[in-house]
Structures are given as structure tokens and as C-alpha cells.
């Protein structure tokens, strides 16, 4: 598996986004509580990140129109995310065309370049059937 760089993105633990994510998980917003463990997944769904992943798939592998189906994820923290703070998300992909899958690995660093967490997602590539 060879990881290829997709890009780095400025991300933020925006209070309204954190509250919406917590609510979607069935929790209440509590400013003093820790951010939800899986919150960094929100950043992978940001339009700029999704567009960069789609561009990477086309440029590196000639794939377009694939539906990305999330299969599993791992998140390892080295430090806690802070409320209302900025971070850098660095994304890399390894595509396995013969298995119709890809692995996404990302690192989250704070403004002092300390690694906060490592994300790894397993994603199936599904191509919709075209009916003519």
C-alpha cells in the first residue's frame, strides 16, 4: 500500500459545528466537556477535502463518479482537541483498484506542529450502474 499526498487543510473546532455534531450523536452541548472522540471525521467531509480526494482519484487513478462508502475507521489521539481552535489536517490516500477500495490516512497538528491525532479510514469505491 503506497500512500500519496492529497493535501493539507486548515480546519477548526468551530463551536457551532461541534454542537451540531454532538447533537447528531444524541448528546447535549456542554462547553466544558471534551469534544466528541470522532469529531475529526467532520473535517474529512468538508467540501475542500472532498474535492481534493475526488481530484486525486481522477488524476492518480482515472476514477470518476465513484461513490465513497465508509467501511471503518481508527482514531489515535496523542493530545486532546481544544474548543474553538485551529489545526492542520494532512490527508494521504492509498487506492487499491483491484479491491475497489482505498485507505485514507490523516494527521491533525496544532499550530505549534504538535501531532494531535492520526485518522485512518477504510473506504469502498462503488460505481453506480448506468442504465441506458
In-domain check, residue 104 = yes
In-domain check, residue 84 = yes
Query: Residue 67: which pLDDT band, with cuts at 50, 70 and 90?
Result: confident
CA separation for the pair 72, 48 (Å, rounded): 22
Residue range 88-114: mean pLDDT, rounded? 92
In-domain check, residue 132 = no
What does DSSP say about strands 4-12 and 115-126: parallel, antiparallel, or unpaired? unpaired
In-domain check, residue 111 = yes
In-domain check, residue 30 = yes
Residue ranges of alpha helices (H) inside the chain are 15-24, 41-44, 47-61
Query: Residue 83: which pLDDT band, with cuts at 50, 70 and 90?
Result: very high
pLDDT at residue 122, rounded to an integer = 93
Cβ-Cβ contacts under 8 Å for 83 (sequence gap 6 or more): 13, 15, 18, 31, 35
Query: Under a CB-based contact definition with an 8 Å cutoff, are residues 29 and 106 in contact?
Result: no
- pLDDT(49) > 60: yes
CATH code assigned at 24: 3.10.129.10
Domain range holding 30? 4-126
- pLDDT(130) > 70: no
- pLDDT(86) > 70: yes
Number of domains into which the chain is organized: 1
pTM for this entry: 0.86
In-domain check, residue 105 = yes
In-domain check, residue 131 = no
Amino acid at each position: 500500500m503506497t500512500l500519496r499526498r492529497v493535501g493539507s487543510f486548515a480546519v477548526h473546532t468551530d463551536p457551532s459545528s461541534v454542537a451540531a455534531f454532538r447533537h447528531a450523536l444524541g448528546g447535549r452541548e456542554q462547553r466544558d466537556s471534551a469534544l466528541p472522540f470522532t469529531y475529526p471525521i467532520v473535517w474529512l467531509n468538508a467540501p475542500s477535502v472532498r474535492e481534493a480526494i475526488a481530484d486525486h482519484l481522477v488524476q492518480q487513478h482515472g476514477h470518476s463518479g465513484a461513490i465513497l462508502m465508509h467501511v471503518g475507521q481508527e482514531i489515535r489521539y496523542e493530545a486532546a482537541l481544544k474548543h474553538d481552535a485551529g489545526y492542520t489536517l494532512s490527508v494521504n490516500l492509498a487506492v487499491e483498484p483491484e479491491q475497489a477500495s482505498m485507505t485514507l490516512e490523516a494527521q491533525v497538528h496544532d499550530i505549534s506542529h504538535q501531532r494531535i491525532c492520526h485518522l485512518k479510514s477504510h473506504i469502498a469505491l462503488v460505481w453506480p450502474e448506468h442504465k441506458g
